[in-house]
Amino acid sequence: MPWCGAGGGSDARELAGRGLVVGGAVGVGKFAGEDALGGGNDEAGDLGAGVGEHRREGRGVEVPLVQRDPALLDDARDDSGLRRARTDRAYATVAGGDGVDFGPHLGSRTKGVAAAVHRRRAGVGGLAVKRDRVPLDAAGEVLVTVGATEGIAAAFMGVLNPGDEVLVPVPTWATFSDQVALVGGVPVHVPLGPDHKLRMSDLVGHVTPRTRAVIVNSPSNPTGVVMDPEEVRAVTRFAIEHGIYVITDDTYEHFLYDGAVHQFAAADVPGARDWVLAVNTVSKTYAMTGWRIGFVAGPKTIIKAVDSLMTQTTSNPCSIAQWAAVEALNGSQDCVHDMVAEFDARRKMFVSGLRNVGYECPMPEGAFYAYPRIPAGTAGEPGDSNAYALRLLDEAYISCVAGAAFFDGSGTLRMSYAASRAVLQEVLDRLATFGR
């Protein structure tokens, strides 16, 4: 069974930051300017240093569009309502006992979270799906992890040997490539077309005898693109025919707009339950990023092997957080619908605003990211995204993520609309007067 090996790092990494509007002033948050495996990126370092300089000088004017956790409501509205809808029962369960065992043996095999995932995937709303039209076996096909990030790493550790290749469609979240490298694998970047939608035809020509897995991330971070359901099925069939595992990051599955549909790779394709590892989390759907609970659904043999590996690494996710996740999964899903409706309104507001101030930007079908192109420069082409992101920070005090961090050299930016409408409007106002 594959194990963890040595690997090298990529040159690109995501620049993460956070800011907070307080009474019209904006506080500067933390930036991470180094990738997971070390190595240098001058642009990332410059951006992180720029934020630090702003903080030291007390400018307090940075507006953040980099966050990957949801800020639910406007500052002027009561933010507690939706948060309570998701967390009150969790706190009551944790604080009141309610039969909860706080011992160390909940573990990655905990029955509570796995059973809740099983119920959702058996068709009871929420995470409704059946793997290959057969409900999940909560005891053997679901592994609870410390967030989806560990879940994806666990999937790679379960299927890769040193030198194995993983097809990674780009632009993409840089962590996929770094995690492949960490276990000794080789990330093979598969460039996507102008619409950034993965199609089966994109994979042809990239498969070699060493290809072991392909990543499917829909809705996509960073682009917000949602794959066509038939293409998901086509990619899955293609992978099975070539003996390739499909590892899906379904983190943003509920953030869908304009009739877009999320297709699970394990559904509707014969034999898929033996080849698909689906990774998910409560972080985005229930705005529970700090609770760090994710899960992987996959073939029993791989889940069992990775569970044994986790016993020697993280041991188990926090038991308290696991029970909070159980409450989120088993409780009413009205809060999720309310949050998606609010993000839909922000999406329309922000993308329309970007277009009005001169940015070419497709309307995202999912997630909560806008992915505009940098306006054309004197040569008629978009400029360097790292340099442009640094200018936005230094001159307009706007933090966003350069497309280069996602292996995209076409001159793009990722701007999150998981921020209050007040922040989004402030960004649009500044962009309207930003010297390009």
Residue 267 has a pLDDT of 77
Mean pLDDT score of the chain: 77
Q: How many domains does the chain have?
A: 2
128 confidence band (pLDDT: 50, 70, 90): very low
Residues 355, 330 within the same domain: no
Domain of 366, in residue numbers: 19-81+345-432
From the CB of residue 84, how many other CB atoms can be counted at a distance below 10 Å? 13
Domain C-terminal end among 301, 334, 367: 334
Question: Has residue 22 got a pLDDT over 70?
Answer: no
Do 295 and 224 belong to one domain? Answer: yes
Q: What would the mean pLDDT of 178-186 be, rounded to a whole number?
A: 95
Supply the pLDDT for residue 95: 55
How much is the pLDDT for 163?
97
pLDDT for residue 382: 73
pLDDT tens by residue, 367-394: 999 999 998 875 666 778 999 999 999 9
**86 is a domain residue:** no
For a pLDDT cut of 70, what percent of the chain falls above it?
67
Candidate from 58-62, 94-98, 99-103 with smallest mean pLDDT:
99-103
CB 145 within 8 A of CB 154: yes
pLDDT at site 313:
83
Same domain, 177 and 207: yes
Burial (0-12, 13-18, 19+ Cβ within 10 Å), 40: exposed
Tell me, yes or no, whether 310 and 392 share the same domain.
no
* Residue 107 or 204, more confident: 204
pLDDT of residue 289: 86
The yes-or-no verdict on residue 76 having pLDDT over 50 is no
Q: What is the pTM of this model?
A: 0.79
Regarding whether 154 and 265 lie in a shared domain, the answer is: yes
What per-residue confidence (pLDDT) applies to 90?
55
| pLDDT above 70: residue 406 | yes
In a domain, 10, yes or no: no
Are 316 and 375 part of one and the same domain?
no
Please tell me whether residues 158 and 284 are part of one structural domain: yes
| Final residue before a domain boundary, out of 308, 334, 360 | 334
Q: Where a domain ends, among 283, 301, 334? A: 334
Over range 83-94, report the average pLDDT: 52
In a domain, 90, yes or no: no
Has residue 95 been placed in a domain? no
| 409 within a domain of the structure (yes/no) | yes
Cα gap 9→13, rounded to integer Å: 10
Do the Cβ atoms of 182 and 37 come closer than 8 Å? yes
Token pair for residue 358? 């001169």
Give residue-wise pLDDT tens across range 235-253: 999 999 999 999 999 999 9
For 87, residues 6+ apart whose C-beta sits below 8 A from its C-beta are 288, 324
Residues 287 and 375 in one domain: no
What the block records as the tokens of 420 is: 């209050």
**CATH code, 395:** 3.90.1150.10
Q: Do 131 and 168 sit in the same domain of this protein?
A: yes
User: With 50 as the cut, is the pLDDT of residue 13 above it?
Assistant: no
Give, in degrees to the nearest 5, the angle at Cα 101 between 97 and 103. Answer: 130
* CATH number of domain containing 308: 3.40.640.10
In angstroms, rounded to a whole number, what is the distance separating the alpha carbons of residues 225 and 372? 13
Residue 11 reports pLDDT greater than 90: no
**Could you tell me if residue 126 is inside a domain?**
yes
- Domain membership of residue 92 (yes or no) is no
pLDDT in tens, 250-290: 999 999 999 999 988 877 888 888 999 999 999 898 888 88
Q: Let me know whether 290 and 361 are in one domain.
A: no
Distance (Å, whole) CA 206 – CA 204? 6
For residue 6, is it within any domain? no
Residue 92 pLDDT: 54
202 & 270 share domain = yes
324 and 421 together in one domain: no
- Give pLDDT tens digits for 23-74: 222 222 222 233 334 333 333 444 544 555 555 454 544 566 765 556 554 4
